[in-house]
Structures are given as C-alpha cells and as structure tokens.
Structure 1
C-alpha cells in the first residue's frame, strides 16, 4: 500500500481506536454492535485495519460477515460487507479502495463467490464510487453485489435466485445485528465440567421439534450415553450456558488422539432457538477448552439448523462436506483448510446422531 499506510488484521490493541471511530461516524450505538462483530460474528481475517506507518494510528477499517448459502444438499459461501470507515483525516487518499481490494482478495481465498453491501445509509456519491469498484446494482433494497467469482455465482444461483438470496442474506444480517437477544446480557452463566443431566435433557427436548425420538432424551439417557461403563477410556467434558435457572445451550467435548493428530470433537451441541449470544459464548469456550487440551483442530456435524451452521461458520469453522455439513476449525498454525487432516469424512468415534453436532 502506497503513501505510508499498511493493512493488517484487527488486533486487540486497535479496538479502542476503532470503537472511537465508529462512535464518531455512526453514533454511540454502533460501538455496541461492533463488539458483536469482533468477538462473536467475524473471523479475525475478515476485519482489516489500515494504519499510518509513521504513527501506527488507525486510518480506517472494513468488516465482513461470512454467510453460508444452503441450497438443497449443497453449501456455498458469500460475504456480507458490514461496514467500512475511513478517518476524516485520511480521506481522499484511496484508503477505502485499497481496503476493499485486500478484503475481497481474502474473501476469494476463503472460497466466497460474491460480496453483498447495502447502501441505504450512504449518499449518492458513495454509491457511485462503490459501483466504480465493480459492485452491481440489482435494484433491490438499495443493495449492491460484487461478484468475486461472477461465473460461479451465476452458475450457483442464476440471476433470479441471486436476487432472492441477497434479500434473505441482508434480512438475516440485520436480524443478527439488531435482535434484542444479541445485546450483551449479564444473565448468562457459563458452566464448565458440570454434569446437569436434567438440564441437558430439558434443553435437548426444547431444541427439537417434539417427536417420539425427543421423548427418549431423558436424564437417564444422558447418564447412560456418556457413562464410564460404556466408554471406560474416554473423558467427556460438558460445557453449558445457563440463563437464570435454565440451560439454554450445551456441548459435550471430547479430546481424541489418532494418527491424524489430536482433535477436539463436539459430540453433542444443542441450543434452544433464539439464544444466538449464548451459542456464540458456548462455541468460543469449547474452542478455548480444546486449545488448552493441545488439539490441532475441532470437528463436528451441524446438520440440524441453518442458524446454528451460520454461527459456527462465523466462529471460524470450515464446511468440509455439504451433504453431511461436516465442519472443522483449525486451532494450530500448522493446520490449514488444505491440510490432509481434513480429507476424511467420518469420525473415528461413532458418538453422534446425524441430525446434530
């Protein structure tokens, strides 16, 4: 980047400057929303910051959210442009253009086929500028689309289905950012290593559409499912999130070593619909647990609910199989999405039903 600027992923020490810049540009309410992007929605490589090399001052940033497109048995990837801000002191120097270029390059490497941006809060000059960058106006909801891989995007969706997807993606993104349950709450309690069979059973039943199978998910079922008599050499580690007196989501974690390496396995993951913030907290704690256990990656299935899959993807998981929704998240710098460790499709331990992680 010319002119004494450099682009880099967001770091912890940048947060105060970014929050202040957002506050100046959009008002105080946007700072709270930004917390959601940074800690819960957006993988680190999808928040890019540009800095003045002489002072290390933040000159601007751009943030995106990954959106899996689920069409039948296939899963594709698009990117929602959430925000882009340049400090008034540095405007007019091409910073935003360079930020977008770098952001789209990163998105392309992550497998995205298109970028979506809505322009309802910006003036006509901004829309003209972003169109010059390659965005297309599809005539819906003041939304512009940037096809990173135009032929693939059209082949996937077709023009009519592309329009329908864009509307759905924008509405979903707005729901995530504005839903009252996603405003930080103090009534969520994280519990680690604590077995609450009745609470797990209740959460499991409420997270499923009532049917005959759900009736059997009793506390006794859980005691048998993860008992030492059934798995004498395996350690299970429960993590749950409680709201007041009720468990709203939980996961059973397994650390497993095989010839491919040490993996973290999420043997069960259930969340009552609408508890997005609790689920993000749970996933974050599961990843931290597996890191502490020395795991190279985390793996699991997420075939039950589209909204759970979206949160998992935005927590850094990679979709490895569209039909099975086999998901993985590398924890070691030596493990990437191209590593041979990701080539297999089935687990070494047959612990899970096919309709949930």
Structure 2
C-alpha cells in the first residue's frame, strides 16, 4: 500500500511539473502583456518615476523567473511557490496604484487558473489566500463607493482568464495522458516481442528435443538390441533391427528439418491421434523390447495442434520409461472425460523420488511436457516412488471439432 501511494504521489508531482512546462511560453506572453498594460495605466492615471518603474520591473522579472522555473518548484514546494508569487503581485499592485487593476485582475487570475488546473491538494487554501490579498489591495486602492464598479469590471475578466487557464491545463492533462498511454503501449509491445522470442526459443527447444533427442534415444536402444542379438549369433534379427534403425534415422532427420524450417510436415498425420499413438507404440515396442498397452477412448476429432502436442508428450513419456525406469511393462491411456483429455503413461519400473529429481537439471523432456501443458491450459502431474513405478498424468481441455468419431 505504501509503495502504491508513493508511486501515485510521484506521478502527481510529475504531472504538475509537465503542466508548468507547457504553460511557460503562453504564461510569459501573458505576463508581458499585463506588465505593458500596468505601465500604460500608471502613466495615464498616476504620476510615476524611474525608480518606481525600475522597482516594479524588478518585481515582475522575479515573478517571471519564478514562473519560468515553476516546473521545479511545484514538484515539492507547491505551496511556497504560490505564496511567494501572490505576495509579489500584492507588492506590485500597491506600487503601481494607477495600473493596479491590470496587475490584480491579470496576475491573480493567472495564479488562480494555475491552482485550479494543477494543484492536487490545498486548492481551497491557496485560492482563499489570493482572494484575501486581492481584497486587501482593492480596499486599499479603491474608494468604498467604487468597489462595486471594480467588482463588475474585474469579475468577468477574471472568470474568462481562470476558465481559459483551467481549460488549457485540462487539454495539457489529456495530452499527457495520451503520451503516457502511448508509452505504456510501446512498453507492452516490447514486452510482447520479448515474450514472443522467449516462447519461440522454448518451442525450438521442445521441437529439437522431441525430434533429435527422442530419435537418438530410440536409435541407441535399437543399437543395444543389435549388439545383444549379434552377441547371441542372431544375425537375421540384428539385420531387421538395423533396417528399422535406418528408417528411424530417416524419420528423425525429416522431423528435424521440419522443426528447423518451422514446417509441420507430419501435422495432418498426427491429426489422427489414435493411429499416430498406435504407430508410436509399435516403434517403441520394437526398439525397447518392452510390452506396451494402449487404452484409447476419445470421441472427438481433435484439432491438429492438440493432437500434435499429445503425440509428443506421450512419446516423451515412453522415452522416459525406456531410458530411466528399467520397466518391463508400460500402459498408455488416453481418455475423454467431461470436455477434457486425460493422458496417462504408467510403468512398473524402479521409480524415483519425484520431489528430488524434478529439481535437478537435465530433465528437458519433462520440462517440455510441462511447457506444452501450460500452453494448452492443462495440468501435469508425476506420481512416483522408489520401487513403485512412475505415472505421468496430463489433463488438457478439448479443442477440436464437435463431430464424433
């Protein structure tokens, strides 16, 4: 809460400063106009001397310099700025008795307009302070019988000046808000670009893992099988596995090219998820020698994106079972339940401490599953324990056609 309040105060001070910066040039022109009018009226209605003109000029110069640097004052010394400026006007008006009405009406209205359009707190006190100074000046300079004439003349002019100043500040405020909105949009655009690049890197990492890494793991298991069969003299079976390995290498190379070129050459085939998983399990069984059982019950035609992600996540689950679990049997279940797809990959291997192992580096396949699940707004859970096997459970919403199969 303190941080939010501090940030709001900072934005408010910055806004006041920008208001004053926008008013510097128009305000300077207005002050010079009031100065010329005051000197002219003093020359017409009252006697004047060089010393009086010099002293009045010095006060107006001080007033102008403070106005020019007001954007610095209002950040932390807003009250002090208006108090000093009000006192300068009061002193100037009492010096130029012949032209005091121009000073009072012009410069007091100028300050009141600034207060109305800029100050966030203490508006009432500041305006009351200026009105007291203005009233004292009017009572001192005007005959009581002429006060009504002064009010009739001064009030409309001050209302116009104050309204213009308030409108000017409102326009400046809208411009500032528009600029801040554009800056926020630009910042958001840069953040989106960064997130897009990050997501693209993650996607490339997943694709490379799901193609090259899984392909190499499969090839390694097949070569181990070849080694075993050769050591037993089963050359015919070894030749068959070598032939399958060559086909697998070709498929892996094709998948790698597809990932690098961002082309999903197998997307249409993966769209038929059951056939894709069945073929995947057949390759897995031939390469690993493990028994694998499929339980598939999905009644919707899944969209290509969902089917493709399911395909790769199941492939990663099978790879982990063959590579780490030392299992004999693997069960794959794909079920449709109340608008969701539940995928389970379970083995009867040695298991592991899920809480400990998942914190170690190197589990890129499981990380890839987690990222794919997150993209589809699903959930991902691993259940495992020493000597109790491992179960990977994934639940994702169905994003497919309404037709049933």
Q: TM-score, normalised to structure 2's length?
A: 0.22
Q: TM-score, normalised to structure 1's length?
A: 0.25
Q: Which structure's residues are more often helix, by fraction?
A: 2
Q: Which structure's residues are more often strand, by fraction?
A: 1
Q: Return the structure number with greater relative CO, CA threshold 8 A, min gap 6.
A: 1
Q: Which has the larger radius of gyration?
A: 2
